[in-house]
Structure 1
């Protein structure tokens, strides 16, 4: 992963998929990397301001690499389709590696 990349996770309170995303990020990031900060988002205005397209959202340099163009922001659960077609609550390891290098 490039050293200049800023990572941040956006999530609603008690998001059931947040631990899954954080575990997967820990597997992809270099050993000794700082934990990815998590920002809790509780309302639609903050979701729009932060660029949260559902919970959890991973931002890379302030952008959501998994959101399709024109995707609506919002305070809701988010579903990701894995590389093998499964529906999951977070991007899979291969998807994270592709985004983070």
Structure 2
């Protein structure tokens, strides 16, 4: 299983998103089961070659963990609804829930 964080250069949410993702993977018991990585998208062609819906985008085996956003080739930011309002990255709890739901469907 491959979990990938897609991001753009200069995205202020990349650091928090990666930290939260790694915490969610660990708390979901997926350490050692899932390969976690990041991918920098530098051009619209890079974005078009992946399922990219803005930075950061979280993929599990190529599928968006938070479906519903439109794909884009724009090197732009993405926002996520959280209990505290819109944010530049989902919470650890949201990521853990998305990971567990996606792995149950596999």
Q: Aligning the two structures, in what range does the TM-score lie when normalised by the shorter sequence?
A: 0.7 to 0.9
Aligned to 1:66: 66
Aligned to 1:7: 3
Give structure 2 stretches of 5+ with no counterpart: 101-106
SS of match in other structure, 1:91? coil
C-alpha distance after superposition, 1:79-100 (max 9, x if no partner): 1111x15111111122111111
SS of match in other structure, 1:98? helix
Q: TM-score, normalised by structure 1?
A: 0.81
Give structure 1 stretches of 5+ with no counterpart: none
Aligned to 1:27: 23
SS of match in other structure, 1:67? coil
| CA distance in structure 1 between the aligned counterparts of 2:59 and 2:37, rounded to whole angstroms | 10
SS of match in other structure, 1:39? strand
Q: TM-score, normalised by structure 2?
A: 0.78
Which segments of structure 1 move beyond 6 Å, counting only runs of 4 or more? none
Structure with the largest fraction of helix? 2
Aligned to 2:86: 87
Contact map agreement 2:80 2:87 (CA 8 A) in 1: yes
C-alpha distance after superposition, 1:10-64 (max 9, x if no partner): 1101211011111111221227936721111011121111111100111111011
SS of match in other structure, 2:9? coil
